[in-house]
Structure 1
Amino acid sequence: MGTILVTGANRGIGLELACQYVEAGDYVIATCREPEAANALLHLKQSHQGVDIAALDVTDPVSIASLVSLLKERRVSIDLLINNAGVLYPEPVGEWGCETFTRTLRTNVVGPAMVMQSFASLLAKGAKVVNISSGLGSFGMGIDFGGPTGTYAASKAGLNMVVAQMAPRFREKGITVVAFNPGWVKTDMGGQEAALDVEESVSSLRASFEKLTLEDSGRFIDYNGEPLPW
């Protein structure tokens, strides 16, 4: 049994991660901005003892600090931290809005960076930190350049660089930090035309997370465990 913290756990990939881990017997701290409105998580908590729901807005330093303080008081030690919270505002190139672009970067790049930095003291020896990125953030894969997901793609490329910057520093402490592409998944964000069901993506992700070693730190990895180009 491990202790798993998932951000953005109220829907989509984050919710499925919380469900699968708690059903596997792990203790899950499922975070989201408005726990009282997270009906699926509330139902999960009612049916499973191994899940707690916590308020966390990854764009708010006070929210981050409050949760860190609470978990320290409870002497929680995290084995797997999953930075999953993210946003996507479809806007064609040339029609980007400053506000939505800024919000995208704050949520998808700055937020995970601050979470990793702030939660570092709560990570157990040998812990793993997984950042849910996207193939859209890969220059090498060259997906949808010029399409309506440009600001999202830019943010995921930024997240990948954050992983590359932080991985060596965490590695000194024996902690593995990686970026993962979950694939194109049928969620509210991915749409129903996507190639993967959320259950399939998350099952493969969990299997790949399990196989991670310190040697993988700083890598960009596909949901099936295969390496991806930056």
Structure 2
Amino acid sequence: MATAALYSNPPLADFVLSEAHGQRSRDNIVVVQDGEAVVSGTVLKQVANGLGEFSMAEGATGNPTAGTITVGGTAAGGLYSVEFTTATQFKVFGPNGDQVGSNGTLGSAFSAGGLGFTLTAGDTAAKAGDRGILEVDAAGGVYEAFDGTGDAVAVLYSHLVAATGNTRAVGFTSDCEVKRSALTGLTAAGETALRTRGIKVRGTAGLPGISTPAL
């Protein structure tokens, strides 16, 4: 999974007028990209389900792969350990160390704890003691650019260069004032939805100035 660069070029959009104390308005998020850049100041909506990525740990002998990984609303976010007991059998342990579901088998669907995936044998067979890592971003922490459907819920702080897949970033998700002229993808319905999250859009459409409530 990609991570947003510390120093952005283009620079971060100057859209934040105020935020809650201690950066309480910000959250670490994951943004799904489809090959295009996502600029700072883009309005975001949540993706219904979480995301998962599988890889074998360093030093493993085998190289099985995972197909589509489904992450439901009950799945906890974090790192899961997939531990092989034989060349074809494995156990899944959650971020808290507890086993998730029953033993799994290569080539058969595994479904437990809100997770669903199938591991397929690679060119080199796994052996007992091999370990895989399943990185899960829980539902609620995954976003994509707001396209006018669904509800706008956040504003992207990071600038994300063109990529395909899932990128870690920072977003404003609550209790802040933002500048209308610096936002990308804002609609009237989106503005209304953002306000329910405590994100207030300031400024008049088509005008560069900022209007705030009179004291």
TM-score normalised by structure 2 residue count = 0.24
Higher helix fraction (1 or 2): 1
* Higher relative contact order, structure no. (Cα contacts within 8 Å, ≥ 6 residues apart): 2
| Structure exhibiting the larger radius of gyration computed from Cα positions | 2
Higher strand fraction (1 or 2): 2
